[in-house]
Amino acid sequence: MIAFTAAEIAEITNGHLDADAGITPLTVVTDSREATTGSLYVAKPGEHADGHDFIGAAFSRGASLVLAERAVAGPDGVNYPAVLVKDAVLALGALAAEAVRRIRAARHAAGEALTVIGITGSAGKTTTKDLLAGILAPHGTTVAPQGSYNGEIGVPLTVFRADTDTRFLVIEMGATGIGHIRYLADMVKPDIGVVLGVGTAHAGEFGGVDNIARAKGELVEALPATGTAILNLDDDRVAAMRSRTSAAVLGFTAAGHADGAVQADAPDTNPVGNPEFDLILPSGEPDLHVSSQLIGAHHMGNLLAAAAAAFAAGIPGRDIAASLSTQAAASRWRMERTERPDGVTVINDAYNANPESMRAALRTLADLGRGRRTWAVLGAMLELGTDSIREHTAVGTQVVRLNISRLVVVGREARALYVSAVQEGSWGDECVFAETPDEAYELLNAELEPGDLVLFKSSNSVGLRHLGDRIALPPQTPVPAKEGSELL
């Protein structure tokens, strides 16, 4: 982390230094439980709790300074050392922006470069981020987000893990409204921007798909003329973004041929569902074959996007192809495959869900399940607004038309999916509605048989990823406690 004194933090954030312990913070945390000796604790108001209520806990664990919106006194009546600001989240962003600026300046003075790569899209951001970081790491110190840290809190926390020895800084950028990605891009000043796709995730919050495209395109608008925009040519809305940037444009496509683009020649999946293709780069390097360890043909675009971004960053094609062929899923609950000792195969893809990713996961289930009994355990896709019933209905219809053997729909928010499957002709025990994950667990635990293939898919907060973890355990194995709350 770039070191900031308390006085510098106050100046950068336009804050007031209420007290100074005289210790330069060593880390930045937004969860008091993660505070250690020398931490800067950011006390932000939250949806369910106010960080100011945990300032004492942070200092008891070693925090030396708090970034807060009001002063808080300790048991002795003396205020904790603090920089007081109007908005702790915006102050955190300002501090991250200054950290990036200082890293660039230090590396430039040393005759070296910092390459910042931003990644956005309605689906595939985390997988693409993981793949790209894996390609880049052997070529220089690489910092990338933990999990899906991709918002106004997660992006600064990623930045604070970088230092003057960082060669590549990979930033995942999520959004739930117009202007969010512009804010993140202004913070980190990306050199390369990757747009994976425009789908219907968060359509309700954005007010429609056109607004999603407008928001995702903010990344390429923020690129300098010396930068590179990596665009998915298989998505018309993304391809149209070339008119919104002054940067060079490098497209990628898994569906056809495009001069000068990164392409997949002879794309296919092997019997266990791993994508395979010959990688075509603008440099014309020959014999670049990719045999991925990821599961599902829908990852073809993520693999090509990572390849294109790495190529733009100057990585040789042979290194790109070799890395893509050895990397498995690095983040949890993304087509995570577990083979139980009794012969049941579990695919846990329930970190998030939208109509596009749901359809892709179900197609993969159908492809992998030929000759096996297949189970789709599905929960709600959230934040779809007025399109929710229509989109859940379409998924229920798809399940039946793909000849998935058994459907278990969990939770009332997904009931339209169950109703549509029944109306499409899935009757009796082929289609079951469960009110809760516990109810679904009892059904699955009783009825799964050796050779079955079961997919779990839902939006994150529905919690089916935890149900998938329970089912992935061998029968009669005690269930571990759930992991702590995530910072997204």
Query: Are 237 and 356 within one domain?
Result: no
Q: What is the CATH number of the domain that holds 130?
A: 3.40.1190.10
Q: What is the CATH number of the domain that holds 418?
A: 3.90.190.20
39 in any annotated domain: yes
192 forms beta bridges with 117, 228
213 in any annotated domain: yes
Q: Would you state the pLDDT for residue 375?
A: 97
Selection from 356, 120, 355, 353 nearest residue 241 by Cα: 120
Last residue of a domain, one of 54, 86, 118: 86
Query: Are 281 and 374 within one domain?
Result: no
Query: Are 242 and 116 within one domain?
Result: yes
Residues in contact with 405: Cβ distance below 8 Å, sequence separation at least 6, in sequence order: 369, 373, 374, 375, 430
Q: Would you state the pLDDT for residue 140?
A: 97
Q: Would you state the pLDDT for residue 253?
A: 96
Average the pLDDT over 176-186 and give the result.
94
Structural domain count, the chain: 3
Query: Are 196 and 298 within one domain?
Result: yes
User: Sorting pLDDT into bands at 50, 70 and 90, what band is 265?
Assistant: very high
41 in any annotated domain: yes
Query: Are 82 and 97 within one domain?
Result: no
Pairing of strands 82-84, 65-68: parallel
364 in any annotated domain: yes
User: Sorting pLDDT into bands at 50, 70 and 90, what band is 261?
Assistant: very high
Query: Are 62 and 197 within one domain?
Result: no
Query: Are 268 and 292 within one domain?
Result: yes
Q: Which domain holds residue 432?
A: 336-472
Q: What is the SS3 assignment for the chain?
A: CCCCCHHHHHHHCCCEEEECCCCCCCEEECCHHHCCCCEEEECCECCCCEHHHHHHHHHHCCCCEEEECCCCECCCCCECCEEECCCHHHHHHHHHHHHHHHHHHHHHHCCCCCEEEEEECCCCHHHHHHHHHHHHHHHCCEECCCCCCCCCCHHHHHHCCCCCCCCEEEEECCCCCCCHHHHHHHHHCCCEEEECCCCCCCHHHHCCHHHHHHHHCHHHHCCCCCCEEEEECCCHHHHHHHHHCCCEEEEEECCCCCCCCEEEEEEEECCCCCEEEEEECCCCCCCCEEECCCCCHHHHHHHHHHHHHHHHCCCCHHHHHHHHHHCCCCCCCCCEEEECCCCCEEEECCCCCCHHHHHHHHHHHHHHCCCCCEEEEECCCCCCHHHHHHHHHHHHHHHHHCCCCEEEEECHHHHHHHHHHHHHCCCHHHEEEECCHHHHHHHHHHHCCCCCEEEEECCHHHCHHHHHHHHHCCCCCCCCCCCCCCCC
Query: Are 54 and 95 within one domain?
Result: no
Q: What is the CATH number of the domain that holds 48?
A: 3.40.1390.10
Last residue of a domain, one of 277, 296, 326: 326
Q: Would you state the pLDDT for residue 201?
A: 62
Query: Are 262 and 152 within one domain?
Result: yes
481 in any annotated domain: no
Does position 239 have pLDDT exceeding 60, yes or no? yes
pLDDT tens digits, 342-380: 999 999 999 989 898 999 999 999 999 988 999 999 999
Distance CA 472, CA 90 (A): 41
pLDDT tens digits, 71-98: 999 999 999 999 999 999 999 999 999 9
Query: Are 272 and 402 within one domain?
Result: no
Q: Would you state the pLDDT for residue 484?
A: 39
Query: What burial letters (b/e) apply to 398-407, b meaning 16+ CB within 10 Å?
Result: bbbebebbbb
Last residue of a domain, one of 47, 66, 86: 86
Q: Would you state the pLDDT for residue 247?
A: 98
487 in any annotated domain: no
Does position 478 have pLDDT exceeding 70, yes or no? no
Copy the structure tokens of residue 476. 């009669």
Give the predicted TM-score (pTM) of the model. 0.87
* Tokens 């290194």 sit on residue: 319
Which range (103-117, 188-202, 305-319, 336-350) has the least confidence?
188-202
Query: Are 423 and 279 within one domain?
Result: no
Distance CA 332, CA 129 (A): 13
407 forms beta bridges with 376, 431
Q: Would you state the pLDDT for residue 204?
A: 63
Q: Count how many Cα atoms sit within 13 Å of the Cα of residue 210 in the half-sphere of its side chain.
A: 0
- The answer to whether 157 touches 28, Cβ cutoff 8 Å, is yes
349 in any annotated domain: yes
479 in any annotated domain: no
Does position 299 have pLDDT exceeding 60, yes or no? yes
First to last CA, the chain: 20
Query: Are 314 and 221 within one domain?
Result: yes
pLDDT tens digits, 14-49: 999 998 878 888 899 999 999 999 999 999 988 788
